[in-house]
Structure 1
Amino acid sequence: MSSILRIVQSFFWILLGVAVGYILLVFLMYLLQGKMIYHPQKSLSYTPEDVGLSYDDITFTTEDGLSLHGWYIPADSNITVLYFHGNAGNISGRLQTIQLLHDLGVNVFIFDYRGYGKSDGRPSEEGTYKDARAAWDYLESERNTESDRIVIMGRSLGGAVASWLAVQKQSAVTATIIESTFISAADLGADLYPWLPVRSIIKYDYNTIENIKQIESPLFMAHSRDDEIIPYYHGKSLFEAANSPKTFVELQGSHGSGFWETGEKYRRALRQFLNANTRNQ
C-alpha cells in the first residue's frame, strides 16, 4: 500500500512541476511578446546604390516627435508606392523589392519603423500606426504627392500596417497591395504556438481581416502555399473577406522571398494591376 502511495505522490509532484513550469512559461511569453513580434536591426548593410539606383536619404518626424529614416527612390513617375516592410531587419534588406518596383516604373518610398535602422524609438503597435501616418504625410507635404497617386503596399507585418493606413486614407488612396500577411496577430500566434493560450494573453491586435473588410480601393494580394511562417489559408481568408475589385496571385517559395521566386508570373500580375488602377502619366 505504501508503495502505491509513493507512486501517487510522485506522480502528483511531477504533474505539479509540469503545471508550475507551464504557468511560468506562459507568464514569460506574456512579458516577452514585443521581443517575439519585433526583430529590428539597427545597422544598414546596403543602400539602393548597391543595385545601381539613385535615392534620396530621408528623415521625417512623427506626431509624437520621433525622427524616422527612409529612402525615396525616384523613377520619373507620378505614382509612388509607400512600402511597409516586415517585422525583422530594416530597409536595407528590401533591395529586391525596391528594384522590382522601380523596374515597374514607380517611385518608391520605404522607411524604417521606430526602433528599426536609423529610426528613433522602440517599436509598438500604436507606434507603427503613427509611423505609417507620418510617412503618408511626408509624401503629401514634403514631396507634394497627390493622394490619388499613392499606392499603399505592405508585406508580412507590413501588410497589417498597410491595411490599417488604407482604412484611414479610404477616400484618398488609389490602390492597396498586401502580401504574405496574417489574419490577425492572435490568429497567427495561435498557429505558431498551439500549446499556449495565445488569444488570452496576447497584447497585440494587428487585425488585418477587420481592416480588409473596410478597404474600398482596388486591392492586390499575394501569398505562397510554401510560406513557412504565415500559413497560406491566412492569405486566402483575407482575400475572401475583401471587397471587389480585388486580385490574388498564388506565390511559390518561402515567406521572405516568394515574390521573387515566383518570377515573371508575379511581376506581370503586379504590373497589370498598377497599370489598371493608377494614372501614371
Structure 2
Amino acid sequence: MPSQASSIAAGVIAGTLGVPVALYLTFIALSGIPYFQRHFLYAHKVHSLWFYDPDEPEYYGFAKNQVTPFSLSTEDGQSLYAWHVLPLPLYAQHEERVVAQASGFCNDITQTENFKILKADPVARLVIYLHGNAGHVAQAFRPASYHSLTETSSYHVLAIDYRGFGHSSGSPTEQGLILDATAAVRWAMDAAGVRPDRIVLLGQSLGTAVASGVTEYFAREEGVDFAGVILVSGFSSLPAMLSGYAIAGLVPILAPFKAWPWLLKQLMRRVVDKWASTDRLRETVRAVKARGGRLRLHLVHAVNDKDIPCHEDDKLFAAAVNGTVGVGEPKMDDERLAAEKSARTVVRGKSAFVATWTDGDLVFRQELVPYGGKLIPWFQSQEKQRLTSLGHNDIMCMAPVALAVMRCFDLVEKPRA
C-alpha cells in the first residue's frame, strides 16, 4: 500500500511539473522561429485599443485639441500613427484658435493650427518620443510622460507607433523600426521645418535601441547632429540582455541553459533582430568626432529597474567613450576606463551617481537614480515599495528625464566662475 501511494504521489508531482516544463520548452522552441520571436520581443499585439481610443486625447487628460492624432508615411510605404502634442503654455496663447478646430484623427495635419504654430516658430523645440515594446502611443504611463514634458515647457512632442503597433500598418522588424524613426525625423525636419539642432531623440527601453539606430544613420550617412539623444532604461544588445533576462527581475527565462554555455550561445545566434546599440553608439561617436560635430548623449537608468538591469548602461557608456578612440588604435581596457570614469563621477548618495565624459563638443552623461517608480501594492510600506518596485517605466515621468531634455537644449545655466 505505501508503495502504491508513493507511486501515485510521484505521478502527481511529475504531472504537475510536466505541464510547466512542456510549456517552457514549447516557448523556447517557438522563440527560434522569427515570426513568433518577434511577437514575443515586440509584444505589439498586446494593447488596449479595444478599451480606449487614442483618437480622443482628452480622455488622457490633455486640453481640447492640444494633441493632434495623425499619420505619417515611411519610405517603404508603411503608415504610422502619431501624436503631435503642443506644449501647454503655447497652447494657452493660441487656445481660441486651437479649440475651434475639429477634434479627433486628422487626415492632413498641415492644415491644423497646431502644425502651423510649430512650423511658424523658428526657435521651436521638438522631442521625438520613441517608446518601448508592447502597447501603443497612448497606453499605460506614456500619456503621463508626455504631460511631464509639455505642461510647463516650450517643447513640442512627436510620439509615433512603430509599424505593427497600435493603428500603424505592417509588422515590426529591426530595420523597419529604424525606418519608422527615420520617417519621424524627416517629417520633423522637412514637413515641420524644425532644425535638427532643435530636435531631441528620446527613447525608452526598446526605444533606446531605435534611437541609437536612427542616430547612427543620420550621423554617418547625412552628417546630421541633433540637439541631443536620451536613452532611458537602455540595453547594450538584445542577445546580451536576453542571456541574463529575468521577468520582473524574478524569473530568469534562460537560466536552465546557463549550465550549457554552448547551447545558450546557439540560442542567442538565433535572435533575428540583434539591436546592437553598443556598436551603433561607438560608430556614431566616431562619425561625429571625425567631422568635428556635436553630440549630447544622456543615459538615464534606475537602480530598481527589474526589467533591464542598470549595469547595461555601463556598456553603453563604455561604447560611447571607445568611439572617441581613433580607428586602428586600441580601445580602452576595462581597468583604465573604470579609473578614468571614476575620476569623472559625482556620487549623489547610495545607488546614485552622475558620470560625465567630455571630448571636444562630445558630451556623454550617465545618470543612475535609485528609484524609477513605485508600482506595487498599496498595503506595503513606503520603504518596501522603494526596494521592490519595478522602476522601468515610471521613470519617464520623473525629473531626471526632464532635466536631460533641458540639458540637450542647453537650457541649464552653467555655474558662474
TM range (shorter): 0.7 to 0.9
Q: Secondary structure at the match of 2:202?
A: strand
Cα distance in 1 for residues equivalent to 2:193 and 2:164: 27
Return 191-200 or 232-241, whichever deviates more.
191-200
Q: How many residues align?
A: 258
Indicate whether 1:180 and 2:233 are aligned. Answer: yes
Within-5 A mapping of 1:5-20: none
RMSD: 2.5
- Whether the aligned pair in 1 keeps the contact of 2:82 and 2:160 (CA below 8 Å) is yes
Q: Secondary structure at the match of 2:367?
A: strand
Indicate whether 1:240 and 2:303 are aligned. Answer: no
Residue 394 of structure 2, aligned match among 233, 257, 273: 257
Residue 59 of structure 1, aligned match among 66, 71, 76: 71
2:124 match: 78
- Whether the aligned pair in 2 keeps the contact of 1:42 and 1:116 (CA below 8 Å) is no
Distance 1:36 1:140, change over 3 A: same
Unmatched runs of 5 consecutive residues or more in structure 1: 1-16
Distance 1:274 1:145, change over 3 A: closer
Larger radius of gyration: 2
1:91 match: 137
1:38 match: 42
2:189 match: 140
Return 42-51 or 198-207, whichever deviates more.
42-51
1:247 Cα deviation (Å)? 1.5
1:52 Cα deviation (Å)? 2.6
Q: Secondary structure at the match of 1:88?
A: coil
Return 152-161 or 24-33, whichever deviates more.
24-33
1:154 Cα deviation (Å)? 0.4
State the identity %: 26
Return 91-100 or 178-187, whichever deviates more.
91-100
- Whether the aligned pair in 1 keeps the contact of 2:227 and 2:408 (CA below 8 Å) is no
- Whether the aligned pair in 2 keeps the contact of 1:42 and 1:118 (CA below 8 Å) is no
Indicate whether 1:120 and 2:169 are aligned. Answer: yes
Unmatched runs of 5 consecutive residues or more in structure 2: 1-17, 91-122, 246-253, 258-263, 286-294, 322-357, 373-390, 413-417
TM-score (norm 2): 0.57
Indicate whether 1:110 and 2:120 are aligned. Answer: no
Within-5 A mapping of 1:142-221: 142-170=191-219, 171-172=223-224, 173-192=226-245, 193-196=254-257, 197=264, 198-216=267-285, 217-221=295-299
Cα distance in 1 for residues equivalent to 2:70 and 2:202: 19
1:270 Cα deviation (Å)? 4.1
Kindly provide the amino acid, as one letter, of the partner of residue 273 in structure 2. Y
TM-score (norm 1): 0.83
- Whether the aligned pair in 2 keeps the contact of 1:147 and 1:174 (CA below 8 Å) is yes
